[in-house]
């Protein structure tokens, strides 16, 4: 894997994906305090804005510590984040990483995540030199399953009772995408 020297800002037809920073606290709080958007997330919804401040502070360490890349998804003419996409869980020797993503609810259904994910996957298999991406999705999270399947991810496994969030225990559907699947995909 080629971990980038500078944070890779990505541009698409409608979007700019940039490093998360302090401007994003309100947007992250909007998305991550919404019980509907957080229904299948790996932790409960935020209750206090201070949790979003702490989340942004943690996210700002991802790139310098080479532990993850988290992009704020913004419109080309509006810097306010709609949501975010991350590559994390890098196993550099095996050239693989995990993909995570979310949008605030009012931005669903407009294709923004698909557009953002295409750019991130292109970057992952291009400049970053990864060979395999994984996504761990709650099997009930149909919008998320549609999002990864639209990219060509294949369902590779079912991990039982993998998560506990509060009192709720849930399974994981594990999805995988290879660089060669991506190269062979019809655009």
Per CB under 6 A, residues contacting ligand COA are 37, 40, 83, 101-103, 108-114, 137, 141, 143-144, 146-147
Pairing mode of beta strands 10-11, 15-19: antiparallel
Residue closest to ligand COA, measured at CB: 111
Neighbouring CB atoms inside 10 A of 15's CB total 19
Smallest separation, CB 32 to ligand COA (Å):
9
What one-character-per-residue DSSP string does 152-174 give? T-EEEEEEEEEEEETTEEEEEEE
In the bound state with ligand COA, the residue whose beta carbon lies nearer, of 2 and 110, is: 110
Smallest separation, CB 82 to ligand COA (Å):
9
Q: E-strand spans in the chain?
A: 10-11, 15-19, 68-75, 78-91, 96-103, 132-137, 154-165, 168-178
Smallest separation, CB 93 to ligand COA (Å):
25
In the bound state with ligand COA, the residue whose beta carbon lies nearer, of 7 and 108, is: 108
Smallest separation, CB 151 to ligand COA (Å):
9
In the bound state with ligand COA, the residue whose beta carbon lies nearer, of 14 and 60, is: 14
């Amino acid at each position: 894997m080629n971990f980038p020297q500078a944070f890779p800002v990505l541009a698409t037809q409608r979007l700019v994906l940039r490093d998360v920073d302090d401007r994003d606290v309100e947007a992250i709080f909007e998305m991550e305090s919404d019980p509907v958007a957080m229904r299948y997330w790996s932790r409960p919804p935020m209750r206090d804005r201070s949790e979003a401040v702490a989340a942004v502070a943690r996210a700002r360490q991802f790139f310098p510590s080479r532990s993850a890349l988290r992009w704020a998804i913004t419109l080309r003419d509006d810097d306010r984040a709609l949501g975010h996409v991350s590559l994390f869980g890098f196993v550099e020797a095996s050239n693989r990483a995990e993909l995570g993503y979310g949008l605030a609810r009012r931005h669903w259904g407009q294709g923004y995540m698909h557009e953002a994910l295409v750019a991130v996957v292109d970057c992952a298999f291009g400049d970053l030199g990864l060979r395999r991406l994984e996504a761990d999705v709650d099997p009930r999270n149909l919008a998320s399953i549609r999002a990864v399947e639209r990219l060509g991810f294949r369902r590779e496994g079912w991990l039982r009772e993998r998560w506990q969030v509060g009192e709720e225990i849930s399974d994981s559907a594990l999805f995988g995408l290879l660089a060669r699947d991506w190269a062979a995909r019809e655009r």
